[in-house]
Chain A
Amino acid sequence: MSASATATSADGNNAEPPSRKRLIALIGPPNAGKSTLFNRLTGLRQKVANYPGVTVEKKTGVARLTGAEVEVVDLPGVYSLAPRSEDEQISHDVLSGGVEGMRRPDGVVLVLDSTNLSRHLTLAAPVIALGLPTLVVLNMSDELRLRKGEIDVDELSKRVGAPVALASAKTGEGLQPVESFLVGRLGTPPPVQLPVIQDVPACHAWAREAREKAGYHPPAPPEWTRRLDAVFLHPLWGPLVFLAVVLVVFQTMFAWATPLMDGVEQAVTMSGGWIESALPDTWVRSLLVDGVWGGVGSVLVFLPQILILFLFIGLLEDSGYLARAALIADRTMEKVGLQGKSFIPLLSAHACAVPAILATRTIENQRDRMATILIAPFMTCSARLPVYTLVIAAFIPEQPVVGNLLGARSATLLGLYALGFLAAVATAKALKSSVLKSKGTPFMMELPPYRMPTVRALVYRLLDRAKVFLKRAGTVILATTIILWALASYPTTAAGEPPAIEDSIAGTIGRTIEPLVEPLGFNWKIGIGLITSLAAREVIVGTLGTIYGMEGDDEGSLGLQDALRSELDLGGAVALLIFFAFAMQCMSTVAVVRRETGGWTWPILQFCYMTALAYLGAWAANTVLS
């Protein structure tokens, strides 16, 4: 079915079935600006999912253009189509129509960096050889002009046998031919002599000839990239800048986030109060106010902080600094048996372990990749932040530690990040010197030129993250909260009143497991929180919000922080922090590890190991401090 449909459009016969949108694939090497073009074309009409059976992210979107709507699929960044990595395999399969449940694209847009054609043009050979209608986009035309590079687009088009457009997805200039290609008549261009695509030197030589015939003048090397590298990779300044960047990120995450979080909290409290006064006192009101507002609301408060973290990761990545940081970190990673390429997944694991584990696909060495997957959940992900922030705010007084540079609360948070990192490093060392020992594969890392991050790209990142977070708050957290509310509201007393929380089903379960968590300094309410947080870490905050909210009916409303202070002593509070630093309380992570490692063995071992470490660590902290 898909084959015949493709054949129709490839013939240049425009009679496409009106019921179905045309499908265009975007492909290109890493750092060619493919995602920028994708965002430019599809705006907010994007969907992110996974290809069936593999871990590669499938990004699709709809481009609304004059004349028609076109479906666009953004393929992973690859240097070649020789199927060796999963990324290359899936790109190859999509373009040749071999992905189940997905029709072969009607056309291809090959995105290359016009300032980097000396390497990027090589990819044109295998892509054009596929025989699909292809448009070659030479991206970043603004930079090419600025740095005084030159290319004869018409001549290049003749040489490679496909239309070529010089454009800038960033500024939007020259995109007209791209839009015309998307909606216009797709024809197969006259065939040209292409090299044997398995032969890298031959493809390279072919690309060089095409470039030279088209009068390509590579632009002058970006002067300020050289100057910035002289500082960022300087023997002394380099590591200092690295440290400074990390410190600034942490300090501002607290300083900037606080007013925003206060704002969200006020909005949640006010709207909750409004509902409470508007509704009659029934179980519906209790479910809404105590269950949903108390539970989901207390998690929503952390959205600003998580977005600030992603803003920083976005800034570091888009500016090009992240690749330098990986290079500086390589030496340290090597000491624990890993490599600089593990650094980027491990850094992004500070946002969330799930995309981090997906990002390990760039590590060619399977054993290095496995070790990175297994230690990634130790990194302090953003789901831990609500718990950390809450406990720190309740127990750590705000006072300067290093002058005005670092406060006691930020220092504690930094300490927790360090704790997770050390656990990861020690685990990596143990794994790499035993079961996952390997001979090194070459480490290669391309350093993109420094670029000014655009507001547009950052906004897309943040919207993406906010969507994921709100979706979780609206599904997993909402469901857990409602179940918990029900468990805490029944059985009703003889008079038909809601029970005292100790006598409810939740209370009974909690008191049954209390002996298990008592050595850690926790009472049964925290115990319930530990159980619900198995779904996702931040759920504990919602759980405590619900429990205390319902308790508040008798005792007057207590803020979550005050409530915690009355429940835990310092030993218990530190134990709670340490428990969350080590434990693998996240079903999404367990699921993604199972998929990535191809079975249950690794995720089960990992879960038991991390839980044992969490329990022992928390027990030790509570014993020492109490």
Chain B
Amino acid sequence: MSLAPSVAPHTLADLKPGQSGLVERLELDEGDARRLMELGFLPGATVQLSRRTPFGDPSVYRIDDADIGLRRETAAKIHLRDQT
């Protein structure tokens, strides 16, 4: 984690509810990455954090007009494009 808490989110896990980002790459092994890509988590795709669930984790992400639930540990491995 960077020392200065930057405003720009680095991974899906850094998004705030309602905030969106562009997927850069998936830091996961091939099988897992493929599954996520089939659900739409492809480089260049826009992902929005719809909401967190009652106990804070997992969270619901909106991608390609669908809602997908992911745990924080997985979301933290989906890196976002630097939007500065």
Chain B residues, Cβ within 8 Å of A218:
65
Q: Which residues from chain B contact A119 at a C-beta distance below 8 Å? A: 39-40, 64-66
Cα of A238 to Cα of B53 in the assembled complex, Å = 8
Among A225, A234, A447, point to the contact of B69 (Cβ < 8 A): A447
Least CB distance, A298 to chain B, in whole angstroms: 43
Q: Are B69 and A444 in contact (CB under 8 A)?
A: yes
The answer to whether A444 touches B65 (Cβ under 8 A) is no
7 nearest CB pairs, A to B: A118-B64, A442-B74, A447-B67, A445-B69, A238-B54, A331-B55, A79-B38
Flag whether A116 is at the interface (Cβ < 8 A).
Answer: yes
Please measure, in the bound complex, the distance between the C-alpha atom of A201 and the C-alpha atom of B74, giving whole angstroms: 20
Q: List 16 A-B contacts (CB under 8 A).
A: A79-B39, A82-B34, A119-B39, A233-B51, A233-B53, A323-B69, A327-B58, A330-B69, A330-B71, A334-B71, A364-B31, A440-B71, A443-B70, A444-B35, A445-B68, A445-B69
Beyond A79-B38, A238-B54, A331-B57, whether A201 also contacts B43 by CB under 8 A is yes
Which residues of A lie under 8 Å from residue B73 when comparing CB positions? 440, 442
Q: How far is the CB of B65 from chain A (nearest CB, A)?
A: 5
Q: Judging by beta carbons under 8 Å apart, are B38 and A200 in contact? A: yes
B82 within 8 A of A: no
The answer to whether A116 and B66 have CB atoms under 8 Å apart is yes
A235 surroundings in chain B (CB, below 8 A): 54
Q: How close is B53's CB to chain A, nearest CB, in angstroms?
A: 5
| A122-B38, A328-B54, A328-B55 as given contacts; A444 in contact with B60, CB under 8 Å | no
Complexed CA–CA distance, A395 and B53 (Å): 42
B42 is an interface residue with CB less than 8 A from chain A? yes
Interface size class of A (residues with CB under 8 A): 35 or more
Q: Which residues of B contact A446 (CB under 8 A)?
A: 39, 66-69
A97–B50 CA distance with the chains assembled, in angstroms: 42
A204 at the interface (CB under 8 A from B): yes
Interface residue ranges of B2-47 to A (CB < 8 Å): 28, 31-32, 34-40, 42-43
| Interchain nearest-CB distance for A246 vs B (Å) | 15
- A225-B67, A327-B53, A327-B58 are known; give 16 further A-B pairs, CB within 8 A: A80-B38, A118-B66, A119-B65, A200-B38, A234-B54, A238-B54, A327-B69, A331-B55, A443-B69, A443-B74, A445-B68, A445-B69, A446-B67, A446-B68, A447-B68, A447-B69
Do A443 and B58 contact each other (CB < 8 Å), given the known contacts A116-B65, A200-B37, A221-B65?
Answer: yes
Considering only CB atoms, which chain A residue lies closest to B77 in the complex? A442
Q: Are B54 and A442 in contact (CB under 8 A)?
A: no
Which residue from A118, A234, A442 sits with its C-beta under 8 Å from B40? A118
Pick the contact of A447 from B32, B36, B55, B60 — CB < 8 Å? B60
**Given A327-B69, A340-B58, A445-B58, CB of A364 within 8 Å of CB of B35:** yes
Q: Which residue of B lies closest to A229 (CB)?
A: B51
Chain B positions within 8 Å of A80 at CB level? 38
In chain A, what residue has the closest Cβ to B44? Answer: A201
What is the bound-complex CA distance between A236 and B65, given in angstroms?
A: 27
Give the contacts of A305-336 with B (CB-CB under 8 A).
Answer: 323, 327-328, 330-331, 334
Please judge, given known A-B contacts A118-B64, A239-B54, A447-B69, whether A442 and B28 are in contact too, CB under 8 Å.
Answer: yes
* Residue ID in chain B nearest A233 by CB atoms: B53
Q: What residues on A are CB-neighbors of B32 within 8 Å?
A: 441-442
Q: Are B68 and A204 in contact (CB under 8 A)?
A: no
Q: Which residues of B contact A327 (CB under 8 A)?
A: 53, 58, 60, 69
Question: Residue of B at shortest CB range from A220?
Answer: B65
A84 at the binding interface (Cβ < 8 Å): yes
Q: Which residues of A contact B42 (CB under 8 A)?
A: 200-201, 204
Task: Give the shortest distance, in Å, between A44 (CB) and chain B (any CB).
Answer: 33
A560 to B43, CA, bound (A): 66
| Contact in complex: A84, B31 (CB < 8 Å) | yes
Question: Bound state CA distance, A219 and B64, in angstroms?
Answer: 11
Are B54 and A233 closer than 8 Å at their CB atoms? yes
Given the known inter-chain contacts A82-B34, A119-B64, A328-B53, please indicate yes or no for A444 contacting B39, CB distance below 8 A.
Answer: yes
* Chain B minimum-CB-distance residue to A115: B65
Question: In whole angstroms, how far apart are the Cα atoms of A122 and B34 in the complex?
Answer: 13
What per-residue 1/0 map shows which CB atoms of A439-481 lie under 8 Å from chain B?
0111111110000000000000000000000000000000000
A188-217 Cβ-contact flags toward B at 8 Å (1 or 0) = 000000000000110010000000000000
Residues on the B chain within 8 Å of A331, using CB: 53, 55-58
Smallest beta-carbon distance B46→chain A, Å: 11
Most buried by B among A234, A327, A340, A364: A327
Chain B residues, Cβ within 8 Å of A219? 65
